[in-house]
Structure 1
Amino acid sequence: MNTFNNDLPSMNSRRFLHAAVTHGRRIFVLGGDAVEMFDIDTKRWTTIPSMRRGRCAAVVLGDDMIVMEGNEAEQYNLISKQWSPLPSMNTGRDGFAAAVLDGKIIVIGGYNYSECLASVEEYDPSTGEWR
């Protein structure tokens, strides 16, 4: 019978309403403006540089972790370990989902503090534009 053995250490900080993404054998957990990285091989959590502000959704595209909230977005290059801003989304939103499709970032739904949204936006890193 298959069993689950949870011998993983706890994160350094408690979190809720956070996002998690993977890159190679690392898991990145983002919540508030803080980010922690879990290395599967060493089974250790490490704090990486904070984001400019708290974010809601995250995706990994190549060697970049892209995080979004409101109408703002920024990226963390997983090689250089540096944050940089991205162009603003067209619609401010919270509580939305994000995914990567064909090398582009797709942002779906959410709410804008007055209504739920059905809109979808796409970010093309080759042009640096949201549409």
Structure 2
Amino acid sequence: MKPLNIMREVSNAAVINNTIVVCGGYVSKSDEYLNSCEHYSIETNDWYFGSNLSENKTDLALVVHNGLVLYAIGGYHPTTGAMNTVERYDLVSRQWKPMASMHTKRYSMGCTVFMDKIYVCGGGGGGGHNTCETYDPIANQWTPIGSMIEKRIEFRLVVHGDNQLLYALGGFPYLNSIELYDYRSNQWHTSSQTLPYELFAFGATTLYY
């Protein structure tokens, strides 16, 4: 697999329409915050530049809803600090479009799709957050939901479909705890299970066998 055209740190990536998309990030050599996006074609084994985000940022969330729509959420820039802006990528026009902003400015947050909505929790900004909110793509509206028990930055938010629970795993400051969200009660609970190590800035996903 070919390397990216730009060596970028603290960017984010997602897969849409059989294409890997990487957006934002930071170039330490030039002290540059990026708004560019690169697309990787599996068929041609090539990276090409797509439309730029409207803001230069790192630590953003990049998430795909229903396999069809790509969202860039939040992020960080030293001039503005944490961001609450949201953009949607249109596959037809191949352009980014601004959408409703989050209630809370945040970066390095947990983000996933659950029960047909986008869930965003925690993140940096103002000393860190334990708050959560959901985005309804049809209504273009954010709604606050129950807060996590602990503030978490650079943690992972994953869904387990069998029991319809949302899991918050680890995070900074040096957490190995796990919280479970039950959408029926709109409450978070601390799991009796923990991660084997205190982890943050790691990768996590759900596999079904």
| Pick aligned residue for 1:61 from 65, 72, 75 | 65
Q: CA offset at residue 79 of structure 1?
A: 2.8
The number of aligned residues is 123
1:111 is aligned to 2:104: no
What percentage of aligned pairs have identical amino acids? Answer: 29
Measure, in 2, the Cα distance between the counterparts of 1:130 and 1:48: 27
TM-score by length of 1: 0.88
Gaps of 5+ in 2: 25-33, 75-82, 144-209
Moved more, 11-20 or 73-82: 73-82
Measure, in 2, the Cα distance between the counterparts of 1:106 and 1:73: 13
Q: Secondary structure at the match of 1:71?
A: strand
| Pick aligned residue for 1:47 from 41, 46, 49 | 49
Amino acid of the residue matched to residue 116 of structure 1? G
Moved more, 55-64 or 89-98: 55-64
**Root-mean-square deviation (CA), in Å?**
1.2
Measure, in 1, the Cα distance between the counterparts of 2:120 and 2:135: 8
1:45-84 deviation per Cα after TM superposition (whole angstroms, max 9, x unaligned): 0100100013411101142210011110011112321211
1:130 is aligned to 2:159: no
Q: Secondary structure at the match of 2:5?
A: coil
Moved over 4 A (4+): none
Question: Is the 1:33–1:54 Cα contact (8 Å) retained in structure 2?
Answer: yes
Amino acid of the residue matched to residue 50 of structure 2? I
Amino acid of the residue matched to residue 65 of structure 1? L
Higher relative contact order (CA 8 A, sep 6+): 1
Alignment match, 2:8: 15
Amino acid of the residue matched to residue 25 of structure 1? N
Measure, in 1, the Cα distance between the counterparts of 2:65 and 2:97: 15
Amino acid of the residue matched to residue 84 of structure 1? K
Question: Is the 1:25–1:41 Cα contact (8 Å) retained in structure 2?
Answer: no
Measure, in 2, the Cα distance between the counterparts of 1:61 and 1:130: 15
Measure, in 1, the Cα distance between the counterparts of 2:17 and 2:94: 15
1:19-48 deviation per Cα after TM superposition (whole angstroms, max 9, x unaligned): 000013210011221100001111010100
Max radius of gyration: which structure? 2
Moved more, 72-81 or 40-49: 72-81
1:86-125 deviation per Cα after TM superposition (whole angstroms, max 9, x unaligned): 011001111112111122111111021x311111110001
